[in-house]
Every structure is written in structure tokens, then in C-alpha cells.
Amino acid sequence: MRRFGVLLLTLLTFGTALAAPAAADEPVVAAKPPMGISWSRGWNQCPRIDDTKVRAAVDMLVTSGLKDDGYTYVNIAGCWAAKTRAADGKLQPDPAKYPDLPGLIAYVHANGLKFGLHSGTGALVCGSAMPGSRDHEELDARTFAAWGVDYLEYDTCGGENGVAAAAKKMGDALKATGRPILFAMIDTFSANYRQWEWAPGAGAHTWQLTSDLPDNFPAAMLAVDQQIPLAGHTGPGGWSDPGYLNFSFLDPWVRRAQFSLWALMNAPLMPNESFPPDTLGNRDVIAVDQDWSGTPGRKIRDLGDAEIWAKPMSDGSVAVLLLNRGWTARTIAVDLAESGVATAPVYRVRDLWTGAELTSTGTLRTSAGANSGTFLRVWPGQPAPAEPLVTLGVELPEGFLAGQPVPGTVTLTNDGDTPITDARYTITVPSGWTLDGPAQVDVPRVSPGSTVTREITLRPTAAPAAKVLVGASGGYTTEFGPRTAAGSAETPLVTAPGTGTTYLSTRPWLYSENGLGPVERGSVANGRAMAVGGVGYQPNSGIGVHAPSVIRLYLGGACKSFTTQYGVDDASGPRATVAFRVLGDGRELFATGIVQRGTQPRKLTIPVTGVQQLAIAVDDGGDGSADEYADWIAPNVSC
């Protein structure tokens, strides 16, 4: 049975289901993930987009350099047409917004770009802004081809019945025109259409499976979690689409983390509303997205809010993302042996966002702020000298008690192959706390592959805030000159549950790990209602996980018993097997042995008197962790 403290994700393996390859004399459509700008997926943009704005967008792509970076498609919104068809049944442009649509398309083409329109499987498109293509597929396809359209976004909204058959009618009609038109399926409302199963056969080159994303990082991460099991359903000619890139209000470090994830998944790069060149124009990151080595990126380790992603590149390098999807800063590290890169005594490491060229002898490490990540590309060997990968990190306990001192460590680590010297950094603590010993630390030398650690203790001088943030920043010298480094970490105030019954789904957790995606409160498998053995449970009645998983929380010796029901969720694969365990202060209090899918939920009550930390764990049953979801139903403590 796998040790639950170290989670190495085993991804689901699906047969590849891609669009049929083109014949030798046919153009290859969507040989790489498409790139462009699109207003088609933002309902609020319809009234604001017209001929003038599209021409301005074309000019922007050319003058900003984004066209040269690969952004070639310009797609307009789902209200470009008049509300009624012409007398001959053809779609006709809205005369106020697009008085000369053929002229606009010619302008796009004259600038070396491609043009896209929007339609749908219903008689009307989503929001009833214009006619859809149901029962007009052949006519509309011929019209689009005659106009010179290069891309069709096809939405299932407005035509929710028989969408697979309707999509195939349009896919066949587009192919029959002889014009290479990229066919992009969009499903923004239903979670049940399972487009990856039928969209390739319908001729689609991309398929979006999630709703349009609001501009926040948690929504983007939910879309990412839903993409993970579909890694086998993507490749040249057919790409899974986690959704457009909406950067309107995101901080730079947040949008860079999201853009890095889209690149790792070989996702279409279709920004919407806002087009920041500092993010979209990063050719190092674009190169990861556009490189197909036979597999997209995958999550190789899930540490709760910290994740490690890796993608093999066709030249033998590996792109690695050290991601912090949580709300507190932390240090993240990974052994390069886990990434799949070839073994070597030293590695070339390029930071894809800063451009820094570094070296490592086998470990990648970063100090990551909230909702951010460090995106690196790693090659075995070192063709040219480069400065060492150096990390200044802060480690704090998982929580602290009011009135008690907080221990921690500050580490200066040299993962490179040359020494660093003359390091000096300063430790900062928040108001209401004092630091034992000096705040300034001098480190004369850190040898290759070594860490110099400073133990610290914070002591409270006032009532504590909800969390403590400790930072460290300073400089050091390499063979290439002086450099700077900074790191930080946060730890929350923890309290014991109050008197009575407390449900674990309502408590803050000290720590969580999960085999696939995040641990979920009140749901499982990316938002599905929990069900065990055909019995469903109300939302917020429990905690859904994917094996292997562990959750730790603070009881402080205040509770008497722990009660729950448990079982393998019906969302699991037919051969799913897991094992449930409960631990108190590291000591095993209960273990189930193997539990199979289809087994009715079982109830458990065990004493926890005197337990300071309670851990509930789900192991994978020893046969791999693919498609193994498990439920803790109404887990609670009596205190």
C-alpha cells in the first residue's frame, strides 16, 4: 500500500481520440494548438464589437508583435449577424456593425492573419442574438467558405438536444467546402456532453469542456482539474480546450501562472478582452504550448496547494512548473528524477519568465507567492557556464497557537554546480512579534548542492492576527556577479473545535494532499455530488478526495470522538479500490483494508481523547491511483 505522505500522481490512460489525419494533399488544420484573439466567448462583448474595433485589433496584433509571436486568428462574437436570414436563407451580417464583412475579412487576410466567426447547434445562438445553424449547416458552411472564413466557433448553447449529431453535420459540411476551416466546439453550459468522446468524430479540431471562465485564478484551476484526466484525448488535429484566457483584472504573477498551465496542456491560446504583451508575447512559454512531443504536460506531484507539473519536449528537455495555487507563500522543491528528464550530473535550467540561465545538479526549488509559480525548462547537460540556481526559503509550521512562540527555519540553498559567496539577508517579521537573535544573517559561502539553515523563533508581543508572514531577502555573489534572492512563508492561527459536534468540512485544515485535483468540501470529482453504492448525499455533507490523499486538522486534545461514513464514490472507475485510515498524532487509530467500488457506505466512530492532530487518509489500495474517488460522509468530531 502506498505511503500517503508522498503522492506521485498516476494519470488516467485513455486511448487517443483525435480528429482524422488529413490526406497527403490536404492542408493540416490545427496541427498545433491555435492561437489568436477572440471576443466570441464573452456575452457582454457583443454590443461593443464592430468593424472598427476588429480592424483596430488587427492593427494591434501587427504593431505589438503578437502576430509574429503566433497569434494569427481574429474571431468575432456571436452577434455579428442580422437577426433574420436573407430571402435566400443565407446568414447576413448586421449592417450597422459590419457593413462590409467581406472587406473586413480581406483586411484581416491582407495583414497576414486569419478570420473567425461564431455560430451554434441551435436555431438561435446563445442569448438569441442571431440565427444559429441548425438545419442550415450546408448552406452556412458554403457561405463561410465563400467569405474566406478560417475558423468557426460552434456553440452548443441554444441547441442542447442532439448536439453531437448537429455538430457532425456542420463538421461534414465544412469539410465538403474544400476550404481548411478550423472547427472549434464550445460547450459553456453542460457538464454532461463529454465532448472528447464525440467531438473528434464530428470533425472538431478543438473542444472546450468548461464554462466561460471569470477572471479569477480558482476558476481557472477548476478548469485545469477537469482537463487532467483527458490528457490522452489531445494532439495534432484535435486539442482539448480548458477555456479562453481572461486577463482583464489579474495580477501579472497570476496570469503568468495560468498562461504557463495552458502551455503545459498544449491548450489553444485565445485571450479574450485583455491582451497584455508582457504575458502573451513570451516566446519561451509559447514554444512549450506549440511543441508536441507525443504527450501534454501532466501533474507529477500534488501537495495540496502546491503542485509540480512537467511536460516532455521534443528536443529532450522538460518544462517544469512549480505551482502554488494556494493563498499563502511557500517553498516548493522537486527532484528532477521525477520530471522524466534524462539523468545527468548537471542540468541547464532556463527560467521561462525571467529569462535567467541557471544550473542545477538535480533539484528544482522556488519560493512561490500566493497564486503564482515558477516555470522552468530543463536540459540534461550544461553546454555553457551559467550561474547556480539559488533559493532563499522560509519554512514555518502548519499552524500556531495563540500566545505561543512560532519556530521556523530560513534556508539558503545552492542547487547549482558552482559556489556562492558573501551572502547576506535580512529576516522580517510582522508587528506584534519579535525575533530571537539578529535579523541580519551573513553566510560566507554555500557550496554546490548545499544548504545553510538558520533556525528562528518568533515570540508574540500582542494578540495574534489570523496568520503570520515571515520574509527574507538579500544578496549573494556568483562567478557572474552579484545577485539577489527573496522568500517568504505564512502560517495560520489554529484553534481547537468548540464544544459540541463540529463537521470537518467546515474547519480550516492544517494540511492536505490529494491524488488528483484539490480536496473538495461537499463534492467530489470536480464538483460532482457525492454518491456511494447508488446512495446520494446532500451538498456540504462531507469531503471528496482522490486516492492517495491525506487531510490533517488541529483538535488540541479537546475532543472525545470522531465519526464518519466512508466509501468509494460512484464517480470512480469500475475497478477502483482504496483503503481508509485515521491517525491521531501519527499513530494509526483505524484502518479499513481494501474497499471496492459499489460497496455500501460504512459508519465509523472511534475515540480521539487527547489527540492534538487528527489525520484522515485514503490510500490507493496498492494497484495504482487512477480514477479512484473516495468520500468521507459527514465526518465530525464531538468535543
Inter-residue contact 308 to 301 (CB < 8 Å): yes
CA-CA distance, 268 to 258, in Å (whole number)? 13
Q: Which of 604, 587, 600, 597 is nearest to 621 (CA)?
A: 597
CA-CA distance, 532 to 523, in Å (whole number)? 12
Tally of CA atoms within 13 A in the half-sphere of 35 that contains its CB: 22
- Residues in Cβ contact with 177 at an 8 Å cutoff, skipping those fewer than 6 apart: 141, 142, 144, 145
Q: Which of 364, 385, 276 is nearest to 319 (CA)?
A: 364
Q: Which residues pair with 630 in a beta bridge?
A: 545, 568
Strand runs (DSSP E) across 430-575, as ranges?
Answer: 433-435, 440-446, 450-460, 467-478, 481-492, 501-503, 511-513, 520-521, 531-532, 535-536, 542-546, 549-554, 561-568
CA-CA distance, 150 to 30, in Å (whole number)? 11
CA-CA distance, 536 to 529, in Å (whole number)? 7
Burial class (CB in 10 A: 0-12, 13-18, 19+), 297: buried
- DSSP string of 304-332? TTEEEEEEE-TTS-EEEEEEE-SSS-EEE
In this structure, the number of other CB atoms found within 10 A of the CB of residue 249 comes to: 12
CA-CA distance, 115 to 236, in Å (whole number)? 21
Q: Is the dihedral of CA 385, 386, 389, 392 positive or negative?
A: positive
Q: Does 215 qualify as catalytic in the annotation?
A: no
Q: Which of 45, 118, 35, 48 is nearest to 81 (CA)?
A: 118
Question: Pairing mode, if any, of strands 318-324 and 306-312?
Answer: antiparallel
Q: Is the dihedral of CA 220, 297, 234, 75 positive or negative?
A: positive
In this structure, the number of other CB atoms found within 10 A of the CB of residue 522 comes to: 17
Q: Does 155 qualify as catalytic in the annotation?
A: yes
DSSP 529: P
Inter-residue contact 580 to 566 (CB < 8 Å): yes
**Number of residues in the chain:** 639
Distances, alpha carbon 216 to alpha carbons 248, 257, 519, in Å: 10, 12, 19
Q: All 3 cell numbers of residue 111?
A: 495583414
Question: Pairing mode, if any, of strands 151-155 and 114-120?
Answer: parallel
- Catalytic site residue from 51, 150, 155, 215: 155
Q: Is the dihedral of CA 579, 580, 582, 583 positive or negative?
A: positive
CA-CA distance, 263 to 87, in Å (whole number)? 45
CA-CA distance, 452 to 410, in Å (whole number)? 8
Q: In degrees, to the nearest 5, what angle opens at C-alpha 609 toward C-alphas 607 and 614?
A: 80
- Catalytic site residue from 172, 212, 585, 623: 212
Residues annotated as part of the active site: 155, 212
